[in-house]
Every structure is written in C-alpha cells, then in structure tokens.
Structure 1
Amino acid sequence: MTFVAGSLGLRHRLILAIAAISLLVPAIFAISTYELSRNYLLSQRERTVQHQAFADADFVRRKLESADADISAILTAAGAPADNTVVLKWRNRWYASSLERGRETVPEALRLKIASGGAATQRLHTAAGPVLAVGVHLPSVEAEFYELAPLSELEAILRLLSVVLIGGALLATAAGAGLGAWASRAVVVPLNRVAGTAAAIAAGRLDTRLPETRDPELATIVGSFNSMVDTLQQRIVRDARLAADVSHELRSPLTTLVASVDLLNARRADLQPRSRQALDLITADLDRFRRLLDDLLELARSDAGLDNGTQESFEVDVLLSHVLAEVGHEPELLTCDEPVRIRGDKARLSRLFRNLFENADRHGGGLTAVTVTRAEGDAVILVDDQGPGVPLQERERIFDRFATGRTGRGSSSGTGLGLALVAETATAHQGAVWCTDHPTGGARFVVRFPTALS
C-alpha cells in the first residue's frame, strides 16, 4: 500500500508533524548525550588504567632489578585490581597473573609498539567482553609490561544510559503526539465550526451564526464572519421582499387581465376565427404568466423566510392521493405497500408533488405511476412518466431556476421554476430530489425524505 501524506486530514498532519519534531529533538539530544558520556567515561577509565599500569610497571621494574626476583610473587604483589590481569615478558619468557589470560591475550599490534619502546594503549574485544590493554616498555630490565583491565562494567553503564535515553525519547514523542492532538483539535474545531455554519447558511438557514468565543485571536474572525452573514442576510431578505412585493403588486392587474380574458372566452362564439386564434394565444400566455408569477412569489417568500408553515407528521400516501385528485388523475396511479409517515409543511409539500405531476403531464408525455416505499429508514416517492426521459447531462440543470428549452421533453411553455421549487422545498425538509431513468422508458423523479416516528 502506497502511503500518501496528502490523503491525511489537516489534524492528522499536524499530529504527525509535532510528533516527528518531538522525536527528532530528543533523538538528537539522546545521541549527543550518549556519545559525549561514552567518550568521557572511556577517557576517564583509560587514564585510570594507565596510571594504575604505570604504577604497577614501576613496581615490577624495581623488583626485577633485585637479584632474587620471584616472578609469581612480584606479579601477585604488583597491586593491580583483582579484575585486572598483568602479563610480563622478561628474558623472552611470558608470565601472567591469571591462568585464563596470557601472551595470547595481548594483541600483536600492541606488542610491536611496546617492543619498539615507550608505552601504548589499545582497546580490544575478547570472549569475556571488552578490554583495555596498556603496555609499558621496561628497558632497564629488558622487559615488557602489560596490564589488561576489563570494560564490562563501563559497557553495562553505557547500555543502561542508552536505554534511559531511548525511553526518554519515546516518552517525549508520545507527549508530543498528545500535545499535537490537543493543539490540532484547538485548530481544527473552530474550522469545522465555521464550515458547519457556512454549510447551514448555504442550505438556507440564514439565521445561523458562529457562537461567541473568549479566545481573543478567534474573536475577530468570529465577529467578522457573523457581521458578513448579517449583511448577506439583510441583502437577501431585502431582495427577496422586493421580489415578493413586486410579484404581489402584479397580481392585481393580472387578476383583472384574467377576468377580462375569461369574459372574452365566455363570448367566444361571437368572435371571428382570427380573433379566436388571437384569444387562444393570449389565454395561453396569460396562463403561463399567472403560473410564473405564482412561482416567483413562492420563491421570493421562501428566500425571505416568509414561507415557514406548520410542521406536522402525516402519512405521505394520503397527501399524494389528494394532490393526484387536484391535478385530475385517478388514485389508481398511486402504489403504497405500507403507510409511511413524514414530517413537514403539508402546503409546501403539496406544491412540490403538484409541480412534479404537472411536469410529467406537460413535458413527460403524462404521469404513469406514483410509488411510495422505504429505503434505509427513509420515505422514497417515485414519480414516473412516459416521455423521452432526461439526458444525463441535463439531470442536474433541470432543477436550476429558469432552466427550460434544452431538455427535449416537450414544449418550452413551462416557467422554468417548477422543478427549482421542488428541489428547494425538498432541501428545506432535509430531503433530496433527483432524476433518473425509468426501467421501461421515460423519466423517473425520486424524492426522499426522513420518516417521522409519529
């Protein structure tokens, strides 16, 4: 599996970054401390062994200068620590204070250095562990003195030090990760709050605001955001009220025009054929104008927040039966296997389904079926028609305002607002609507709402 850092969220990236820094700094400190401590302890140990070896070598030299020198007694009395081993080469013969170590313990390189004169020190590894060997040339008695001191105790101390330093680095990393989790939460939570508030505002809940905060660094952002939303809400409400007022004012002359045209239609028999033709055109355009004005008024009231009806729980199949009767369809078109309850504004939801049914009749060759079912706990209403269907690239655009004329689903006599009202009403009720293909041809509009308990 390929790890992609960009696939991680902001919070996880912050935690990883702080944890990495928390590991890097203690690791550098631990390595530096270990190396400095190791070098210091080794140098101290080396000086101590050298001083001891020089003192012992001087003692052996003085004893060898006597005529009756006893090598075994001299090496025993040399005063070397019990763990140290003394090796002596005198008159081309080798002697040792320990039966376990002798000439073979002294490395060849060290013997060559001592044979050429002076003193030397060398570290070496043996089966028993690390050893520090010090050699001293004794020319006055034609001897070579070697003292070997074990470094096992020092190695154990260094091992313990490395464990402590590694443990400290791991603890620091864990603490850094915990700090990163806390710090990233402090950073991400306000961003999520802003995102959630912005999403709520985009969904139409213009009265949503960010909560006040005591954090002085966030207070400015919160204040600016809320001020921006206040201004936006005022502008939207002002524009929506203007549209609602204009639409309302147009209803009076429209009502007069409708009454006049109805009067002309009542005397249709007295008109000339050419006049009847003109009257039909006027009647159709006036009907389209009336529906457009009703839709505009509905959208304006919705945008201004003036269309908040009573929320109640009801069986959706009962509502659909009433709407089918209103638009002149038989109740046999409705199929409902079991009662399904939803919650919402019955008036607005009636308009939603009326628009879908009229859209099927006007642009889809006629309504063929309305089906109510359940899916994952939600209420799903399927509205089918027998038209040519909706092209895939147009299935989202048809829910835009004033989207007409490019779907190929009949005439362009619609207002272009019916499906936009359907989508906005569904969203306002925490639902959704979309268009797909009917399995046997035609278009299928799917409306989905959360179910109500009672």
Structure 2
Amino acid sequence: MSATGMGRVVRARGLRGRVVLAFGVGALLVSAIFAVLTYGLTQSYLLTQREQAVVRQVYIDANFLRGRLETAGADMPTVLTASTPSADATIVVSRGGRWYSSSLEAGRESLPFALRAEVESGRPASMRTRLGGEPVLVVGVPLRAVGAYFYEVVPLTELQETLRILGTVLLGGALVAAAAGGGLGVWASRSVLRPLNEVASTAAQIAGGQLDTRLAATRDPDLATIVGSFNSMVDTLQQRIQRDARLAADVSHELRSPLTTLVASVEVLNTRRDELPQRSRQALDLVTGELERFRNLLDNLLELARMDAGLDPRAIEPLPLADLLGHTLRRSGRSPDLLVVESDAKVNGDKLMLERMFGNLFDNAEIHGHRLVRVRLLADTEADDRVLVLVDDDGPGVRREDRERIFERFATGRTARRSSSGTGLGLALARETVAAHGGAVWCTGRPEGGARFAVSLPRVQP
C-alpha cells in the first residue's frame, strides 16, 4: 500500500483506533529494532567466538599432523586415522598433488576455490560456506615444513539451531510487545476519550433542552480548566436563553391586553356590519384578518417562550391519535373525511400542544399549498415503536434546498396565492412540540405532487 493510501486509512479511523494503532505500531517498531539488534549482535558474537575456537583447534590439529608427517616413513592415511579432530569435523590434506580426507562426505570439491588459492599462496584462511545444505566453517593452514596444506571442515549446524531458536524467541517477543502496546493503547484511549465522551454526552443533553446539565467537578488539574470553562459557558448560554425567553413572554403578555381590547372592539363592529358602507366593511374585514394573524402570532410566541424556558409538556396522557386528528380537523372547520386511519396507535402527550401542532400543519397546507388533501395515520415500517402522520397538500411543493429552512423561526415564503405568508412561527413551533414529545417532523415531496409533512411520534406499547 502506498504512503498516500496508508494515510487515508489512518485518517479514516476514529481517534481511539488511531491511538491504539499508534501504540501497537510503536511497540512493534521498538521491539522489532531491539530484536534485530539483539539477533545481529548475538549472531556476530557467537560466530566470532565459534570461529576463534575452531581456528585454535585447527592449529592444534595441524601441528599434530605436521609432527606425525615429519617422522620418517609416515604414511598419510595412517596419520589421518591417528588424528582426532573435534566431533563431526573433517580433515582434508593436500600433499604432493594428492588429496586425502578423513571422511567420505568432504574432499577437494567441498573446499571453496578462493580459500584453496589463499592457503596455497602461503597464508592461512577461513571461510563460511554450505556443504550438503548445511552451514560449515572451513579453515586452511599451509604446512610448509612437510609440503602439505591442511584443511578442516567444521559444521555450524548446532550454532545455526541456536540462532534459529533465538530468532523465534525474539520474533515472538516482538509480537507480544506489539499486542501489549495495543492493549496499552486501548487503555490509554479509553482514559483519554472518557472526558471527551462525558463532554459530548453533556452537550447532547443540553442541546436536547436539559439546560441545567453540567459536567461533574474533577480533581484532575489538566481537566479542571476545561470543565470550569465548559460549565461557565453553559451557565452564560442558559442565562441568555432564559433572558430572551422571558423577554418574549413578557412582550407577548403585555401585548395580549390591548389585543383583547381590539378584538372585542372589532367584534362589536362586526355585529353592526350591515350598517356600514361597503368600503368600511372591506376595511373591517382587513382589520379582522390582521387581528387574527396577530393573535396567532402572540399565541405562538408565548408557546415558544415556554419551550425555550425548558418547560415540559404539561398534561401527559395516553391519547388515541386517530381521535385527536379527527377532532383537530373538525375544530378547524375541515372535513374529517380527509383522515385516513391505518393504525389505532396511542401516543403519550399533551392534548392541547399536539392539537396546536397539527393545526399549524393543516393551516400551513392551506396557506402554502392549494388545499389540504389528505391526513394519513399509519405505523412506521422502519420502527415498530413509532407511528407516522402524513399531511399532504396539492400545492407547488417545497424545494429540496428549503425543506430544512422552513422549520426555522420567522422563515416565511410565498403562499400558493402569491401573497405574503403567515407569521413564520407555525412550523418552528411544530418542530419544538414534536421534539418535546420525543418525535421528529420533516418535509418531503408528495408522490402525486405537492408537499408532504411527516410527523413521527413514539407510540404507547400495548
């Protein structure tokens, strides 16, 4: 694998994987370097000691053979028979152009040519080679006094076996060290990631609306600053959210009294509508519509302020969702025949909040689509513990890039009639309400054309 490919693999791993990999590879590299150095130094030392011992023994054997050959009438085969080389060693002698060997396994052909040339030039020499697939050490000594060249072939099989065992032990040690390094990496990564996981868990709870959640105090001096800064940041954030929520609630509450007065006054005018001129009736209709829009805006603002303050749904009870949807349709003046029931699921929730939420979705279908065409209640095929409500309209639909933006507060658009839209809080309030009930809401396209809003809520298990 190339360095670029390896880099991509490493980056693709999580932080814990990278820590474990770093510890494991680091331990393997250190142990491998140590094993190679140990093996190299040991091999060099043992070979050197073995070679020195063999050379000393060869000189002893050569002096013994020279002494026997200097005796008048000495016979070479007899002398070789009388020689007692070390165990498994073989003596090869060249004298007068003839070659003699103490074993049938080694002879002139077994001796490296370069070694023979060196010895025949009058200098002793040694060389490691292989004979019959086994390592051997060949030492040659010139015997000028008797006109002979003495060679001794000593096997190194025992030394090779020792080095093989040593290599196996060192390799096993390197693998064990790498495994230990990986285990240490797992422990270290858990120790390092535990505080991060606690921060992530706490942040998720805060994002879910539990603004009172804080990181636990720690005695670790390296983490104390982070914990303190995080908790201080959350305190500031909570105070700002609560301050903004109180401001919205106070403003909405202060506006409710004059709004009530205006609504009452307009209702009085509506009771005498027939006495007004045509232009005055048109102006009255305009004021009535804007007051209704203003009243909805205040109601939505108060509800959002309540949710921003971290207040949970008030009256949680098991609710038959089909009955709730039918009641909401009738209350808003729509036909209950729009409801298609494919599940008799119940949900735990606040009836008033859920009615307001579904009412906002129905109003949205009327305002931004041509009309509300169907409300479908069915079981979620992807999650047995949830139920789906699909709200369909036959309008122009919602562009893919706007399907998330429309749930933002005050995100308004053009209605199906090309007039300005409503308050821009209905869908935002719907998302907040669904989230408070442990569900989710999203927008998609209707297969037949138009927009579809899907609400997923946890169902009450039978």
Per the TM superposition, whether the score is higher than 0.5 is yes
* Residue equivalent to 1:327: 332
CA distance 1:162–1:147, change in 2 (3 Å): same
Is 1:91 the counterpart of 2:96? The answer is: yes
The CA deviation at 1:21 is: 0.6
Q: Give secondary structure in 2 for the equivalent of 1:83.
A: coil
Contact 2:374 2:393 in 1 (8 A): yes
Deviations 1:117-148 (A, max 9, x none): 02111111111511101111111111111111
CA distance 1:308–1:214, change in 2 (3 Å): farther
Given candidates 346, 363, 366, the residue that maps to 2:368 is: 363
The CA deviation at 1:214 is: 4.5
Deviations 1:18-55 (A, max 9, x none): 11111101111111111111111111011001000111
Contact 1:356 1:383 in 2 (8 A): yes
**1:273, 1:293 → 2: CA distance?**
30
**1:61, 1:306 → 2: CA distance?**
111
**For 1:7-406, what aligned pairs fall within 5 Å after superposition?**
7-306=12-311, 308-375=313-380, 376=382, 377=384, 378-406=386-414
**1:437, 1:123 → 2: CA distance?**
83
Provide the aligned length of Structure 1 versus Structure 2: 454
* Residue equivalent to 2:447: 439
CA distance 1:453–1:211, change in 2 (3 Å): farther
**2:144, 2:417 → 1: CA distance?**
117
Q: Percent identity?
A: 59
**2:82, 2:347 → 1: CA distance?**
104
Contact 1:389 1:409 in 2 (8 A): no
CA distance 1:61–1:12, change in 2 (3 Å): same
The CA deviation at 1:307 is: 5.0
The CA deviation at 1:91 is: 2.2
Deviations 1:360-409 (A, max 9, x none): 22332222211100112120001112322222222222111111134656
CA distance 1:441–1:103, change in 2 (3 Å): closer
The CA deviation at 1:215 is: 3.6
Q: Give secondary structure in 1 for the equivalent of 2:62.
A: helix
Contact 2:368 2:421 in 1 (8 A): no
Structure 2 residues without counterparts, runs of 5 or longer: none
Contact 2:313 2:349 in 1 (8 A): no
Contact 2:313 2:353 in 1 (8 A): no
Could you tell which deviates more after superposition, 77-86 or 269-278? 269-278
The CA deviation at 1:245 is: 1.3
Q: Give secondary structure in 1 for the equivalent of 2:370.
A: coil
Contact 1:366 1:386 in 2 (8 A): yes
The CA deviation at 1:183 is: 1.2
- Residue 151 of structure 2 aligns with an amino acid whose one-letter code is Y
CA distance 1:211–1:98, change in 2 (3 Å): same
RMSD: 1.8
Is 1:430 the counterpart of 2:438? The answer is: yes
TM-score (norm 1): 0.95
**1:368, 1:118 → 2: CA distance?**
110
Q: Give secondary structure in 2 for the equivalent of 1:382.
A: strand
Q: Give secondary structure in 2 for the equivalent of 1:200.
A: helix
**2:421, 2:371 → 1: CA distance?**
15
Deviations 1:331-356 (A, max 9, x none): 22211123112222222111110111
- Residue 54 of structure 2 aligns with an amino acid whose one-letter code is V
Could you tell which deviates more after superposition, 118-127 or 194-203? 194-203
